[in-house]
A and B are shown apart, each in its own frame.
Chain A
Amino acid sequence: MPQADNASLTVSIWRGGQDGNFETYSVPNRQNQTVLDVVTHVQRHIDPTLSYRFACRVGMCGSCGMTVNGRPRWTCRTHVSKVAKDGKLQIAPLSNLPVIKDLAADMQPFFEKWQKAGGVFEPSKSRAEPVEPIRPNEPQRIAADEGIECINCGVCYAGCDTVRWNDDYLGPAALNRAWTLMNDRRDSAQKPRLAAVAANGGCHACHTHQSCQEYCPQSLNPTGSISLLKRLATKAYLKGELKP
């Protein structure tokens, strides 16, 4: 692979657990390399004990989220040339999550909140019944389409101020998922889901900072989904259908 003009990159990588520190490595500066390529180079050629997480390398699986120069990003689709400052990169695990080791953050709280927000589809029919057709031009389907391409990378969760401040806050990804399911008429858990997202730590805790929208690698707008959940929950509460 051809090398870029500056022969090497200075890369600071978080090593250790929650109380770890940054260690600096020199990595060849190649054209068109991604941040994930840089991390892979360090593990394969400099220090095989470096831990990090990835799977698909093409922006589909959501495994490789890391903090790059202070900003949460999907590293497999982030070109070094776009984010390096003066030939320097600082790579850390995703924020707002416990650190397992090095660049691997513990995603358990993220997925626990995803479930707490009612993120699991609850079918209303058995598999013996025919599949219910949903036309692409139905208003609810169009509303769900806005948020359905989430890959659960955790980038929005890591970049959210409210998640950092409020331990109970469910976070943008979980609430975005809940909003897509509230628009799925095949789902049978609409009422408990709305109660879950309207409780303390739910959609009403969002400050509408829109960091999730800014950082989402899929260009989704979880803030928009959350504001529509707020409206849905508020209407239900005023009608007496919801008791927080």
Chain B
Amino acid sequence: MNVRLYIWQRGTAALMAPLVLIHLAVMFYATRQGLTAHDILGRTRGSIAWAMFYGTFVVAAAIHASIGIRNILVEWLPVRDRAAAFLSSGLGILLILLGARAVFAVVFA
């Protein structure tokens, strides 16, 4: 961990804090109102606002998680910084791809 990674990890955490609260509120709303998958997709399809919201969430989560995993790899496994950076960057890209696929599915598909 260096100052650059520290700022990215803390910055994405600060960004995600309100996003998590909104996400939880949306989940509660959807279940309490008894919304079906069809109802939800009806609200999200074509919505640039939801695409921006969950797109931002996915990118922030991927950056935050990959930096955290990098630290765990350095501290718990016999790998050096370079190998840990390589592995955690791979995880970050995977998270972005999976997240982008999910966002695409609920907004554009």
Q: Show the binding face of A for B, using Cβ within 8 Å.
A: 162, 165-166, 168, 198-200, 202, 204-205, 230, 233-234, 236-238, 242, 244
| A205 with B1: CB separation less than 8 A | yes
- Most A CB atoms within 10 A — which of B2, B5, B7, B74? B2
State how many residues of chain B have any CB contact under 8 Å with chain A. 12
| B74 with A244: CB separation less than 8 A | no
B-chain residues with CB within 8 Å of residue A200 when the two chains form the complex: 1-2, 81
| B75 with A162: CB separation less than 8 A | yes
B-chain residues with CB within 8 Å of residue A244 when the two chains form the complex: 2-4
CA distance A181 to B20 in the complex (A): 41
Interface positions, chain B 1-21, Cβ under 8 Å from A, are 1-7
A-chain residues with CB within 8 Å of residue B71 when the two chains form the complex: 205
| A234 with B7: CB separation less than 8 A | yes
Task: Return the 4 tightest CB-CB contacts between A and B, nearest first.
Answer: A165-B75, A198-B3, A204-B6, A244-B2
CA distance A199 to B74 in the complex (A): 14
Whose C-beta in chain B lies nearest to the C-beta of A236? Answer: B3
Of the candidates A162, A168, A237, the one whose C-beta lies within 8 Å of that of B3 is A237
Whose C-beta in chain A lies nearest to the C-beta of B81? Answer: A200
A-chain residues with CB within 8 Å of residue B4 when the two chains form the complex: 237, 244
What's the nearest-Cβ distance from chain A to residue B20, in Å? 22
Whose C-beta in chain A lies nearest to the C-beta of B5? Answer: A204
- Majority secondary structure of chain B interface residues (helix, strand, loop or mixed): helix
| A233 with B3: CB separation less than 8 A | yes
| A202 with B75: CB separation less than 8 A | no
Whose C-beta in chain A lies nearest to the C-beta of B71? Answer: A205
B-chain residues with CB within 8 Å of residue A199 when the two chains form the complex: 2-3
| B3 with A165: CB separation less than 8 A | no
| B2 with A238: CB separation less than 8 A | no
30 contacts between A and B (CB under 8 A): A165-B74, A165-B75, A166-B74, A166-B75, A168-B74, A168-B81, A198-B3, A199-B3, A200-B2, A200-B81, A202-B1, A202-B2, A204-B1, A204-B3, A204-B5, A204-B6, A205-B1, A205-B71, A230-B3, A230-B6, A233-B3, A234-B3, A234-B6, A236-B3, A237-B3, A237-B4, A237-B7, A242-B3, A244-B2, A244-B4
CA distance A236 to B81 in the complex (A): 23
A-chain residues with CB within 8 Å of residue B74 when the two chains form the complex: 165-166, 168
What's the nearest-Cβ distance from chain B to residue A206, in Å? 9
What's the nearest-Cβ distance from chain A to residue B66, in Å? 16
A-chain residues with CB within 8 Å of residue B76 when the two chains form the complex: 165
CA distance A166 to B84 in the complex (A): 13
Apart from A230-B6, A237-B3, 11 more pairs, CB < 8 Å? A162-B75, A165-B75, A198-B2, A199-B2, A199-B3, A202-B2, A204-B3, A205-B71, A233-B3, A234-B7, A244-B3
B-chain residues with CB within 8 Å of residue A237 when the two chains form the complex: 3-4, 7
- Interface readout for B69-101 with A: 1 if CB under 8 Å, 0 if not? 001001110000100000000000000000000
CA distance A162 to B71 in the complex (A): 11
B-chain residues with CB within 8 Å of residue A238 when the two chains form the complex: 7
What's the nearest-Cβ distance from chain A to residue B107, in Å? 34
CA distance A230 to B81 in the complex (A): 20
CA distance A119 to B30 in the complex (A): 57
What's the nearest-Cβ distance from chain A to residue B19, in Å? 22
